[in-house]
Structure 1
Amino acid sequence: MKQPPYVFICFVVFVSAGAWGLYWIPQRLLLESGMTGGWGTLGQYLISLGVLLPVAIWRVYKGHQIGLRHWLCGLLLGSGAIFYANSFLVTEVIRALVFFYL
């Protein structure tokens, strides 16, 4: 039996929301291991940069766009993500979630 096309989309959104909801766990573990302040956040985003930078270089080499036209949007979204990540370190998890989702 063939599934409707939106079932896969719903599953992906469910998994993504669950993973994003668990984002605070590594933040707290890094804080407990001695990475104070935003160093844990910086470490997590540097890992992402290390994974995505070769993809961006490959796309430039192939002549594809990498989205540099939308730098302001990226700056604002990235700043929001960093503030979200650091909020888990300065307050309780539930307060940070309520603040950012309401």
Structure 2
Amino acid sequence: MTRKKLSELKPGDERLSLEGVVETIYPLRHTRSGKPLLKLIISDGETALPLFVWGEAAEKIEASQEIRLGTRIKVSDCYVRVGSSGMEVHLSRWGRIEVLNR
């Protein structure tokens, strides 16, 4: 897994490890197909990007209330793509989010 700063990311990057502080947490929503989706904005002090968490992982984060505004997190096994809001980070199916501090 490659560790990068948010400012170094480019579309197509995958199997990444990132660290950042949670700046915004949007309410959990469901796609048209019913799949849970949670959007966070994370920042490394230089760059802020949306982080999308899908499925069961999104529901676990929402239910645990462990990740809050200002929480420093490590995101492992994520990938980058361009979406409707520009460049986006997505947690892979096998990815995980670790709380580093609150």
Class of the TM-score when normalised by the shorter of the 2 chains? under 0.3
Larger proportion of strand: 2
Normalised TM-score (structure 1): 0.21
Larger proportion of helix: 1
Q: Which has the larger radius of gyration?
A: 1
Which structure has more relative contact order (CA 8 Å, sep 6+)? It is 1
